[in-house]
């Protein structure tokens, strides 16, 4: 069985963590979420490690939630779903609050939780041609778990748009809204650029990286959780949304092998024709 995560540490103390589920475009499941949380926690506490690079194997960075895993979750109890959501939230918070500098080398498409992973890193470098989307709404969901981190990265205004529309955007768009800091023409160039950034910072970095005084995503998460707990479960979504979401998820599963993750990035002609040009 292939390990869902690969980790190495070079002679300069730079750890590289590679998502290793290329057959499903490095999508999250229980194992990968647990491994990421555990690995980032240990690397953050390791005195040998000076910085952490996160990237993906294959042609995608991270497709968000594994559709098969999400399909299983549809039959979970409320307690099981809360536990899964807490595990996912813990993983993102561990990365976001890691005491070592974190750099995302975005080697390909990033959807849903993959965008959240990028948002949690201190620095993000992408490869031209990669596409991004906060695609949860297409399944009748909201990007709730990742929202504090994404809003912190791209701002509330951009988040409102992309949370609601699930539209795809390019590397140039990702730079424009602040999700990426730089873009390179190839993966090799992106690695060179990221490691040059690390090399410049290593001599002056203290044992723990300095943090700007900004709104803590954890505080935002507490507010979201408070709002959730104050609402009755049946009020979270219209009653018609659940079967629609299940139908949409089933349709996505049916077409996953036929269409493939990269092909999902193609914009429908009718959508392109309806775009506004202000």
- Per residue in 159-172, pLDDT tens? 999 999 999 999 99
Q: Which pLDDT belongs to residue 257?
A: 44
Q: How would you label 138-173 residue by residue, b for 16+ Cβ within 10 Å and e otherwise? A: bbbbbbbbbbbbbbbbbeeebbeebbeebebbbbeb
- CA 249, distance to chain mean position in Å, is 19
> Is the model's pLDDT at 114 over the cut of 90?
yes
DSSP 8-state assignment for residue 65: B
> Is the model's pLDDT at 259 over the cut of 50?
no
- CA 146, distance to chain mean position in Å, is 7
Q: Which pLDDT belongs to residue 134?
A: 96
Query: What are the structure tokens assigned to 88, written together?
Result: 């996912």
Give the predicted TM-score (pTM) of the model: 0.76
Q: Which pLDDT belongs to residue 241?
A: 46
In contact, 145 and 85? CB cutoff 8 Å: yes
User: Which whole number is the average pLDDT over 111-115?
Assistant: 96
In contact, 130 and 109? CB cutoff 8 Å: yes
Per-residue pLDDT reduced to its tens digit, 24-36? 999 999 999 999 9
Q: What is the mean pLDDT of the chain?
A: 81
> What percent of the chain clears pLDDT 70, i.e. is strictly above it?
73
Most confident of 38-42, 207-211, 233-237: 38-42
Q: Which pLDDT belongs to residue 277?
A: 45
User: Using 50, 70 and 90 to split pLDDT, how confident is the model at 182?
Assistant: very high
Q: Which pLDDT belongs to residue 144?
A: 87
Q: Indicate the CATH number for domain 5-204.
A: 3.90.226.10
> Is the model's pLDDT at 252 over the cut of 50?
no
> Is the model's pLDDT at 243 over the cut of 80?
no
Beta bridge partners of 133: 111
Per-residue pLDDT reduced to its tens digit, 117-136? 999 999 999 999 999 999 99
Nearest-10 Cα torsion for 23, 42, 73, 54: -40
Q: Pairing mode, if any, of strands 109-111 and 60-62?
A: parallel
> Is the model's pLDDT at 265 over the cut of 60?
no
């Amino acid at each position: 069985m292939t390990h869902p995560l690969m980790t190495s540490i070079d002679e300069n103390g730079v750890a590289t963590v590679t998502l290793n589920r290329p057959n499903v475009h490095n999508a999250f499941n229980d194992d990968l979420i647990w491994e990421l949380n555990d690995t980032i926690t240990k690397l953050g506490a390791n005195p040998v490690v000076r910085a952490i690079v996160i990237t993906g194997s294959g042609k995608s960075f991270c497709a968000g939630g594994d559709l098969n895993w999400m399909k299983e979750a549809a039959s979970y109890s409320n307690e099981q779903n809360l536990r899964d959501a807490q595990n996912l939230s813990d993983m993102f918070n561990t990365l976001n609050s890691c005491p070592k500098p974190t750099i995302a080398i975005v080697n390909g498409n990033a959807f849903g939780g993959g965008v959240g992973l990028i948002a949690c890193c201190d620095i993000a470098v992408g490869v031209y041609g990669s596409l991004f989307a906060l695609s949860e709404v297409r399944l009748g969901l909201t990007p709730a778990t990742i929202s504090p981190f994404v809003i912190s990265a791209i701002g509330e205004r951009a988040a409102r748009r992309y949370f609601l529309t699930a539209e795809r955007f390019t590397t140039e768009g990702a730079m424009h809204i602040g999700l990426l800091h730089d873009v390179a023409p190839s993966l090799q160039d992106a690695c060179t650029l990221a490691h040059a950034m690390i090399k410049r910072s290593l001599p002056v970095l203290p044992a723990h990286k300095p943090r700007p005084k900004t709104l803590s995503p954890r505080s935002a998460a507490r507010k979201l959780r408070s709002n959730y707990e104050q609402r009755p479960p049946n009020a979270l979504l219209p009653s018609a949304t659940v079967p629609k979401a299940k139908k949409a998820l089933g349709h996505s599963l049916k077409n996953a092998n036929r269409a493939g993750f990269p092909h999902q990035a193609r914009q429908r002609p009718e959508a392109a024709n309806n775009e506004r040009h202000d």
